[in-house]
Structure 1
Amino acid sequence: MKKENSELSSTELKIFEAAREIFQAKGLEGARMQEIADKADINKSMLHYYYRSKAKLFEKVYQLSVIKLIPKITELLNEDLPLEQKIRSFADKYMQIIKVNPDIPLFVLHEMNKDPNRLQNFMLGQIGEKVQPFLQQIKEERKKGNTVDMPAEQIMVNIMSLMIFPFIGRPVFKAILDKDDEKYNAFMEERHRMLPDYIVSIVMKKSS
């Protein structure tokens, strides 16, 4: 069984935090084990004692990072709220979480490209069943005529895409929009303020 963050040794935790920061800034290919060792204030031999390769370390960071967020995400999806309030709350709180952990979407994308079957099995086991009550709630509201006439699965994917893609596409959007890091962060803050209302407007039908 894999250890959670709280169960890591102090050395492992230093490695994990250093690796997270460097992988986030430079990606898997751009990161160097020596740089991670220096950031963690350990020698390279010690780093290799814990992780034999950069790929193994990346995988560990990916798994622990995603596992940490799953309970938060499922908790938001299963709040006891009317659908409109739940969507608004979910969009707001999810954006807060991802802004603090902007590397997570890129980790997921990397793992998806490297081994789609493993990612599928991991996500199915961790979150698959837990999203079913949310999907069922959307289906029930659709039957009542309270949402757009679209399958629940399509609605959920649209919601997630609107929130996640600007983090995955950050380098591209920075270039297209001609924004440095500071301006792009301000752009994402503006998006965070606007997104809950926008998502509600495209999912829920207005009362007549």
Structure 2
Amino acid sequence: MEDKTTDQSSTELKIFEAAREVFQAKGLEGARMQEIADKAEINKSMLHYYYRSKAKLFEKVYQLSIIKVIPKIAELLNENLPLEQKLRSFVDKYLEIVKANPDIPLFVLHEMNKDPNRLRNFMIDQIGKKVQPFLQQIREEREKGNTVDLPAEQIMVNIMSLMIFPFIARPVFKTILDKDDEGYEAFIEERHRILPDYVVSIVMKKSS
């Protein structure tokens, strides 16, 4: 009985990993069940035994991937820290999360563009509401003259753009910078080292 349970768990894990790779690369509409079955090294009938539809499988991958990653990112914004320290911590930890899940930003972007309503409520609850205290903290520091004179929303978008774009535009930058996979990973590691201090330098005013 245990062997059967173990085999079932192993098969489900193979399906999940295969589906995550295909969905993150192609989104819900572009993915094909046959491709997922081939990648999981099972036949299509077995795939349908575990998941009767592509939508059900997508929902499972979505729940186990996106829902785990995005709340972690939102939590970073609400650490009880002074703004300068929070900026460094947020950038550092965010990049750690995204490096471990490099296809997630493109996956979310693809699905939001394809069907905004699919992720809308989740994004509002997990990001939109939780980002408000962080924006308010930036506003308060701006009032004190401690940050650059920009709206909090502009500062937030600038920070997120600096962090996310190298992952979303990876194929473009690999070509422009003439880097193979290993070279681009080194580039991301270098960026991880320099970005926390750089973000602080473009947001916080230097004390005189």
Per the TM superposition, whether the score is higher than 0.5 is yes
CA RMSD of aligned residues (A): 2.1
| In the alignment, structure 1 residue 174 sits paired with structure 2 residue 174 | yes
**Aligned letter for 1:105?**
P
Distance (whole Å) between structure 2 residues aligned to residue 84 and residue 189 of structure 1: 22
Which residue is equivalent to 1:183? Answer: 183
The Cα shift of 1:36 comes to 2.4
| In the alignment, structure 1 residue 132 sits paired with structure 2 residue 106 | no
Contact 1:87 1:199 in 2 (8 A): yes
Q: Percent identity?
A: 85
Can you list the C-alpha shifts for 1:147-185, whole angstroms capped at 9, x where unaligned?
011111111111111100110000111111111111111
- In the superposition, the TM-score normalised over structure 1's length comes to 0.86
Q: Which moved more, 1:42-51 or 1:132-141?
A: 42-51
- In the superposition, the TM-score normalised over structure 2's length comes to 0.86
1:104-115 equivalences in 2 (<5 Å): 104-115=104-115
Secondary structure at the counterpart of residue 131 of structure 2:
helix
Secondary structure at the counterpart of residue 206 of structure 2:
coil
Which residue is equivalent to 2:153? Answer: 153
Can you list the C-alpha shifts for 1:13-59, whole angstroms capped at 9, x where unaligned?
331112223445x5347755334224434321121234455565345
| In the alignment, structure 1 residue 44 sits paired with structure 2 residue 44 | yes
Q: 1:32 to 1:118 in 2, by over 3 A?
A: closer
Contact 2:74 2:126 in 1 (8 A): no
Secondary structure at the counterpart of residue 130 of structure 1:
coil
Q: Which moved more, 1:54-63 or 1:100-109?
A: 54-63
Secondary structure at the counterpart of residue 147 of structure 2:
coil
Can you list the C-alpha shifts for 1:52-85, whole angstroms capped at 9, x where unaligned?
5556534542343110013311221111110000
Distance (whole Å) between structure 2 residues aligned to residue 56 and residue 111 of structure 1: 15
Distance (whole Å) between structure 1 residues aligned to residue 130 and residue 30 of structure 2: 35
Identify unmatched segments of 5+ residues in structure 1: 1-8
Which residue is equivalent to 2:118? Answer: 118
What is the total number of aligned residue pairs between the two structures? Answer: 199
Which residue is equivalent to 1:27? Answer: 26
Q: 1:149 to 1:95 in 2, by over 3 A?
A: same
Distance (whole Å) between structure 2 residues aligned to residue 204 and residue 168 of structure 1: 27
**Aligned letter for 2:178?**
D
Q: 1:18 to 1:129 in 2, by over 3 A?
A: same
Which residue is equivalent to 2:78? Answer: 78
Distance (whole Å) between structure 2 residues aligned to residue 97 and residue 157 of structure 1: 18
Q: 1:27 to 1:72 in 2, by over 3 A?
A: same
Distance (whole Å) between structure 2 residues aligned to residue 115 and residue 136 of structure 1: 30
Contact 1:62 1:104 in 2 (8 A): no
Distance (whole Å) between structure 2 residues aligned to residue 171 and residue 59 of structure 1: 27
Distance (whole Å) between structure 2 residues aligned to residue 166 and residue 81 of structure 1: 27
Secondary structure at the counterpart of residue 187 of structure 1:
helix
Contact 2:71 2:126 in 1 (8 A): no
Distance (whole Å) between structure 2 residues aligned to residue 98 and residue 75 of structure 1: 14
**Aligned letter for 2:179?**
K
Greater Rg, structure 1 or structure 2? Answer: 2
